[in-house]
Homo-oligomer: A and B are copies of this chain.
């Protein structure tokens, strides 16, 4: 039997975690950088960065951002029936998720044609879209849809122990950022209500933006795909400091975790291990390199199954 969820306050341990070595490692690290001593780090250098998909909220069966794009494509095709002549729009209207899965599969086999078709269709929806219009479009998505397998609103698909960790770090004068491979402006829509992270502390993939007639609108071109080695570069561009704590869950976070642990200050890198088939999902595909690296470099791997007292909130 795993131990029960801790009842301690946010300031002494992170909420939602069981009393296990993983929680002890987090508490030890925070004590080390906060308490007087050789490892103490000044508050303004206590920067923590968190991946989003699979680290702060669930990413299966599909990225929530992908569900949003498909949702938007279907809406666009219903408003303009001629769009259904294009395969991605037709697949969106038909709810044919296999089409999108096969685009990725073909990509892995060296054929990018379907993925490019999807990308062009996705960008066409967002072309010259003002920030307010994007906010409306994504709000409608969050208000009108639910997670297909969990049956709860997407905004309730965040991990309680990771929110507990955000608050625990903040209680110790850390400043926390989200560094997502997902869309910056998409994540910003929920980062405040779900994670207590304001828009200025959300870094992510983004379209080009330009100023037109008093508004900021998208160029409809991809500017940054914030994954892999782009993450440390984006962290520097946005924050101008090297983090001392980083949490991720996949190979796309490897560079960010490596960057975090490669500085002169004490640091901790952590992976969320998806090993909880009952409460969430059990998979390690796409995290093989990160998990291997965690082993050789002593990064913390938190087991969702063993270390988390709860996964989702009410």
Contact = CB atoms under 8 A, between A and B. Distances in A.
Interface of A: 44, 131, 175, 184-185, 188, 198-200, 202, 206, 209-212, 214-216, 229-233, 235-241, 255, 258-259, 262
Given A211-B232, A211-B259, A229-B211, A237 B206 contact: yes
A188 B241 CA distance: 10
A212 B185 CA distance: 27
A65 B214 CA distance: 29
A191 B269 CA distance: 29
B238 A209 contact: no
A75 to B, nearest CB: 24
A160 B202 CA distance: 32
Most chain B beta-carbon contacts within 10 A, residue among A184, A237, A238: A237
Given A216-B259, A255-B211, A199 B233 contact: no
Contact of A236 (B209, B236, B237): B209
Given A211-B232, A216-B259, A237 B199 contact: no
A198 to B, nearest CB: 6
A214 B215 CA distance: 38
25 contacts: A184-B237, A185-B240, A188-B240, A199-B240, A199-B241, A200-B238, A200-B239, A200-B240, A200-B241, A206-B237, A209-B236, A209-B237, A210-B229, A211-B231, A211-B232, A211-B255, A211-B259, A212-B229, A214-B258, A214-B259, A215-B262, A216-B232, A216-B236, A216-B259, A238-B238
Q: Which residue among A206, A236, A258 has the maximum number of chain B CB atoms within 10 Å of its CB?
A: A236
A229 B212 CA distance: 8
A175 B199 CA distance: 13
Contacts of A175: 200
A86 B65 CA distance: 50
